[in-house]
Chain A
Amino acid sequence: MTISIRSVDKRFGRYPALNSVSLDIRDGELLALLGPSGSGKTTLLRVIAGLEFPDRGQVLFEDEDVTYLNAAARRVGFVFQQYALFKHMTVAKNVAFGLDVRKRRERPSRPEIAARVDELLGLVELGGLGRRFPSQLSGGQRQRVALARALAVSPRVLLLDEPFGALDATVRKSLRRELRRIHDATGVTTIFVTHDQEEALELADRVAILNAGRIEQVGTPDEVHDRPASPFVCGFVGEANRFEGRVEGARFASGPVVLAAEGVRDGAATAFVRPHQLALAEPGRGFEVTVDRLTVQGPVGVIEGRTADGQRIEASFARKDLGGVEVRSTLRLAADHAHVFPDA
């Protein structure tokens, strides 16, 4: 199902949480809402869910205006960061809840509900744990129960609010793959909120990046990483060295650091260079860097250093290229690519 959000505003008291946000979500896609805390990503998710209502603007499911429908009427499945399971019910009862509370006429028969619960517990790989209580499960298992419970009502869209936020790193990673698998198996349009860019880039078909109540960019993980639309996106997605300087005649200069800036208008500008976009340079090219720290992360070596005028630089290389580089030595670096944004 497609979802359109049109010029949505939402304030909490005097604090604007969403500022004229528009977003189109495609049928069956897995979309990440990525942003720092306070960027409005959770508020946007709750507006889509019908747990929060916008002050202005519209929310459309297909062509249906659902702006003022509540969550149940929209038929959304919502998964909360802290699971929000019913502690006094068994796992099976939790999953069956959405079916059990239906009016008699619309409610499936008991065997049908039991079959559906078994099917869903199988889908989230919790088969056989239906009679346990949530307190007897691990965090990762609880979040799977929450997922199965949300899917039980055959939602038109599945919404997840920082679904892996409360889990430790390994469980996080495996549950991430799990969510991708479940999404591919059910084909339901899915939107999840995260502040973890790695999670968003790995899992999502497209990523919407929010900052201060606005959407900065929507695109595939490659697009937002390789072609950031704004300085914020460039700084937020992936690692980047940041330089303040000026552009003159398609050249950006910040002290000794000089970068190509094709098609950028003259004047004050900010440039970003990713660590892997820096390479060792011939004498006479690039700029000089003094090495402060040298760390090795598997096949990659990372240099932290300073330019002659004291700007901090991080650069990463294949380890084999690092022969002879030591702490306190100086070397010359040049950037093969840079993102340069004129200052507003």
Chain B
Amino acid sequence: MGVTLTILSVIVLIPLSAVAIKSAGLGFDGFLAAAFSERALRAYQLSFGASLVAAVVNGLFGALTAWALVRYEFPGKAVINAVVDLPFALPTAVAGIALASLYAPTGWVGAKLAMVGIKAAYNPVGVVIALTFIGLPFVVRTLEPVLRDLAADVEEAAASLGAGRLSIIGRVILPALAPAWLTGFAMAFARGVGEYGSVIFIAGNMPFKSEIAPLLIIIQLEQYQYGAAATIAVVMLGVSFLMLLVINAIQAWARRFV
């Protein structure tokens, strides 16, 4: 217990409190000004908003991917399985450069999208694309074991009791997946909020438009505004912590039957 607490303090709690102390150096008014400047608000909005959208997209497609990987046999399955983990292993900067060159108006995909009037890089859409790429494995890998565990006989039992396909999905499969799904969603979301490397290449980083909060912190640091940087960090910390708390509470409720 003592060892755990010491390690937790040294590795997690002390650095976090250092951030808070640093930002406290600004005084109350200074804190407010730095934390809620127009530019910072826009950055939070983008960071949390894009992460949320990306997590939702991942929740959907990650579930489909996990389902396909667990339930079906198809040629190239092993390759797909490995590809899913790529965002874990790839240096984020590599992912960022790759995505930026693909989705830029001159890139393979970006050029096609530009023809139908969609601009997919150097704006918030680009941020969502990068965060989706980064978050996918979290959803797939948390859902996979639960899906595998969800034996086929449970579906057969439901069918033999007269449930139609929709009833089976809605009443049996989805509720059984919900806790793991929420976990994957939360992890993808949290990763999105903290993501930096892959986003900055594709985001364009225009203040008030496509500038994410972590980038704003770096910019403040580069301008020797340590207090302001720490202040934004404190806000991010607070909001992230609150969201994780809420998601944990939902999970605890959804796991009441385990």
Contact = CB atoms under 8 A, between A and B. Distances in A.
Interface of A: 49-51, 70-72, 76-78, 80, 82, 84-89, 97-98, 100-102, 133-135, 146, 149-150, 152-153
A51 B256 contact: no
A82 B156 contact: no
Given A87-B257, A101-B167, A135-B258, A72 B161 contact: yes
A296 to B, nearest CB: 43
Q: Which of the four size classes fits the interface of chain B? A: 20 to 34
A138 B156 CA distance: 22
B171 interface: yes
Contact of A78 (B151, B157, B178, B258): B157
A340 B130 CA distance: 78
B4 interface: no
Q: Which of B154, B162, B164 is packed against the most chain A CB atoms within 10 Å?
A: B162
A76 B77 CA distance: 37
Contacts of A135: 257-258
B215 interface: no
Q: Which of A50, A98, A153 is packed against the most chain B CB atoms within 10 Å?
A: A98
Interface of B: 151, 153-154, 156-164, 167, 171-172, 175-176, 178, 256-258
A175 B178 CA distance: 34
29 contacts: A51-B160, A71-B156, A71-B159, A72-B162, A77-B160, A78-B156, A78-B157, A78-B160, A80-B153, A80-B157, A82-B151, A84-B151, A86-B171, A86-B172, A87-B257, A87-B258, A88-B175, A88-B176, A88-B257, A89-B257, A97-B158, A97-B161, A97-B163, A98-B161, A100-B171, A133-B256, A133-B257, A146-B157, A152-B161
Contact of A70 (B159, B167, B257, B258): B159
Given A84-B151, A84-B153, A87-B258, A101 B160 contact: no
Contacts of A71: 156, 159-160
Given A88-B257, A101-B171, A135-B257, A72 B151 contact: no
A149 B161 contact: yes
A72 B176 CA distance: 22
A131 to B, nearest CB: 12
Contacts of B158: 86, 97, 101
A274 to B, nearest CB: 38
Contacts of B156: 51, 71, 78, 80, 84
Contacts of A97: 158, 161, 163, 171
Contacts of A51: 156, 159-160
B154 A86 contact: yes
Contacts of B164: 101
Q: Which of A87, A89, A146, A153 is packed against the most chain B CB atoms within 10 Å?
A: A87
Nearest to A49: B160
A98 B162 contact: yes
Contact of A82 (B153, B161, B175): B153
Contacts of B159: 51, 70-72
Contacts of A101: 158, 161-164, 167, 171
B156 to A, nearest CB: 6
A72 B162 CA distance: 5
Contact of A102 (B162, B175, B258): B162
Nearest to A79: B157
A72 B156 CA distance: 10
A78 B175 CA distance: 22
Nearest to B177: A88
B74 to A, nearest CB: 18
A84 B176 contact: no
B179 to A, nearest CB: 9
Given A72-B160, A101-B161, A86 B153 contact: no
A84 B154 contact: yes
B157 to A, nearest CB: 4
Contacts of B153: 80, 82, 84
Contacts of A86: 154, 157-158, 171-172, 175-176
List the 9 closest pairs (A to B, CB-CB), nearest first.
A98-B161, A71-B160, A84-B153, A84-B157, A133-B257, A72-B162, A101-B163, A78-B160, A88-B175
A72 B160 CA distance: 5
Contacts of B163: 72, 97, 101
Contacts of B154: 84-86
Contacts of A70: 159
